[in-house]
Structure formats: structure tokens, C-alpha cells
Amino acid sequence: MGKEVSRSSRSSRSSRTTTKRTDRRVDRPVQRQANKTSEKRVDRELERITNKPIENSRKVTSEKPSEKSIGKRVDRTAERVEEQVIEKGLDKVTPNKVEDKVETKKENEVKKEAEKKVEGKAEKQVPPVQESKHAKKKKLRLKEKPLIIILILVVITITLFLVATTFHKSDKVEETSNKTEEQTETKVEEPTPEPEVPEDFSDDYENPDVVGLIEFPGLDLKEPVLQSTNNSYYLNHDINKKKNVIGSTFLDYRVNIDNSPKILIFGHNSPNLNPPFKKLEKYYTEDFAKKNRIIKVTTKTQVRTFEIFSVYIDADELHNFSYMNVNFDSDADWANHIKQLKDNSWYDFGTEVSSSDKILVVQTCTYHSKYSKYKNKRFVLIAKQIS
């Protein structure tokens, strides 16, 4: 009995070993096919990603593997599969399912490696894009365009400014020329003023002592001027040679109304009466004096215009009536005399005088309150001939 049992156990062991070997032999072609399939899938995946055929980098040898090496590989693979089955607690795993899992796992790993390789190759294989000369020129042109536009705008602005300035200048020149032409035309058109014709007053007055007329346009005053052989007769005689307190306007007997460089005309003033020269009191104020500076003297031969340059009151204690002088030793004395008359003025009329000027002196009595302390005093207007 014991021998039979031992034989049966031996036979069962041998049958198990035979079964294992048979299974391994059966699994060998399956494993090979799985390996080939996985390699093909990896190649296909690489080709799909890169769109390029993948050269087979595996070494193909002409020598066939020995049966022992194949058996060892199959045994190792089978043992790994069994260990995985035991670890995961699977009782029944078919060879196809094991192959599918192995293949799936390998495929995922192969895919990841292939993607990494492809990315690395792509980075290495794709050379950096170099800009062509044409592209560089385009970029330079694009950079230069704003500068060119700015320069063009600056040139246009300067040109417009110069054109505007030129037109403005030309307009000014035209205006000036037009004004000049207008002035010329006006001058041409305006008739040359004729000299004033002396007024024939001989028929108006029966007295032959009437030598001329004196006029103050600012006072609306015009009076005949008489001349006697002295300066006392017409102090108390009128134009008809009748006695009169007011007297007449008369010329100093020492001068000639037409030819003397200095002529003196006298007339009365009164606080109680209304003689013609009472109006001269308006010249006490500076404003009126400066605005009404013209005096005209008309004779039988000419009309002379004078311009006032001095206004003041004289007395024995002031200037000693120096304006009454008519005789001078030299031109220098005459020049100093005229200068003194100007310096005596209350106001500065801004009129220049010289020794070549002809002078008119108008004298009258004065009752100015500021000069009441002076007994013998006179108010005088002094003018120079301007035409």
C-alpha cells in the first residue's frame, strides 16, 4: 500500500510539473506575440504623434535565440504574472486578461516615453526661426515710418509758417504802399493852400492910424490895431480919436508892424468895465493857454500867424518889464532876450526858440489876486511867428 501511495504521489507531482511545462510552452508564443504587438503599437503611436515613419532602432540579429533562453524568459514572465495575481487576490485570471493588462500598462508607459521623446526631438529638431533679410527690412521700414512721418510734418509746418509770414509781410508791404499811394494821391488832390489875402480894412475905418488887425481864434476876439507917434495917445482915445477911458488897442510907436523882428501890442483891462483884452484873463489857466496858442496879425500886405510860448505877469520888482526892450546890440543879446522871455513863463509849452525868430508881445493890465501886492504890473503873452 505504501508503495502504491508513493507511486501515485510521484505520478501526481510529475503530472503537475508536466502541466506547468506545457503551460509555459503554450504561453511562450502568446508572450512573443504580445511583445511584438506592443512594439508595433508603440511604433504606430510615435508615427501618429510625429507624423514621421519611425526607424526600427531595435537590433535584429540573424541568430535565433536558444530554447533555453526563451524558456527562461517565459518562466520569468509567468512568475511575474502569478505574483501579480496573488497580490491582487484574483483566483482566476485567464492568460488573455493578463496579457491585456500587461499590454495596457506597457502601452501607457510606452505612450508617455514616446511623448517625452517626441517633445525632446521636436525641441531639438525644430531649429530657431531665423528672420529673412526681407522681414528684417520690413521691420526696419516699420520702425522708420513714424520718424519719416514726423519729419514730413515738421517740414510741412515750417513751410506753412514761412508761407504765412511771407504773405503777412507782402500784405504789410501792400498796405504800406497803398497808404503811401493814398497819401500821395491825397497830397496831389489837395490843392496847395493859398496864402491868406490881407483884409482890406481901409474902408471900414475912417482913421488912417489903423495899421492892422489882431485876432485870438480861441477867444473869438478880433480888434483893429492903431499906431500913433507915442504910446500914450490911444490909452484914452477910441478909434474915432474921441476921448475914452477904455482907450484902444494900439501898436508900439517904435516898431513897424510888417518888418520889425519884435512887435508889441497894448490894450486895456478893467475890473469894473469890459474892454476887449479882459478876455485874456482866460490865459491864466494852463489848460486853456496850451489849447489856444494861436494869434493872428493881419496888415494891408500880409497875414502872420504866431504861436504862444510864454505867459506870465511882470512888475518893477519882478523882471523890470524887460519884454519892452526893442533895441539890441548884437544877435547874442537878442538870443539871450528871447531865452529870458521863455524862462519867465508860468508854463512849459515845449516850443523851441532861436535868434532867428520874430516875436509878438501882447500886454494888458492885470488884477490877478496873487499879485495884488504889486502896484505897477502887467500880464503878457509872448509868441513867435510860425507862418
The number of domains in the chain is 2
Is the domain of 224 the same as that of 113?
A: no
Evaluate whether residue 73 is within a structural domain: yes
- Indicate whether 75 pLDDT > 80: no
Give residue 112's pLDDT: 75
Give residue 3's pLDDT: 45
- Indicate whether 377 pLDDT > 80: yes
pLDDT above 90: percentage of residues in the chain: 39
- Considering 92, 109, 124, which residue would you say is the last residue of a domain? 124
Domain range spanning residue 323?
A: 210-385
Q: Between 254 and 46, whose confidence is greater? A: 254
Taking only the tens place, the pLDDT of each residue in 170-219 is 666 566 666 656 555 544 444 445 556 566 666 678 889 999 999 999 99
Confidence label for 245 from pLDDT (cuts 50, 70 and 90): very high
Provide DSSP, 26-73.
HHHHHHHHHHHHHHHHHHHHHHHHHSSPPP--S---SSPPPHHHHHHH
Evaluate whether residue 52 is within a structural domain: yes
Q: Is 134 helix (H, G, I), strand (E, B) or coil?
A: helix
Is the domain of 235 the same as that of 96?
A: no
**Mean pLDDT for the chain overall:** 76
Give residue 43's pLDDT: 65
Mean pLDDT across 126-144: 61
Model's pTM, two decimal places?
Answer: 0.51
Confidence label for 345 from pLDDT (cuts 50, 70 and 90): very high
Cα dihedral across residues 82, 84, 87, 90: positive or negative = negative
- Considering 124, 153, 171, which residue would you say is the last residue of a domain? 124
Q: How many residues does the chain have?
A: 387
- Considering 79, 109, 124, which residue would you say is the last residue of a domain? 124
Q: Between 315 and 115, whose confidence is greater? A: 315
Evaluate whether residue 153 is within a structural domain: no
6 to 10, 12, 14, 180: CA distances (angstroms)? 6, 10, 12, 156
Close Cβ partners of 205 (under 8 Å, ≥ 6 residues apart) = 224, 239
Evaluate whether residue 342 is within a structural domain: yes
Nearest to 308 by CA among 332, 340, 334, 283: 283
Give residue 30's pLDDT: 56
Is the domain of 237 the same as that of 377?
A: yes
Highest averaged pLDDT of the listed ranges 141-145, 297-301, 305-309 = 305-309
CA 378, CA 324: separation in Å to the nearest integer? 11
Taking only the tens place, the pLDDT of each residue in 16-47 is 555 555 555 545 665 666 666 666 666 676 66
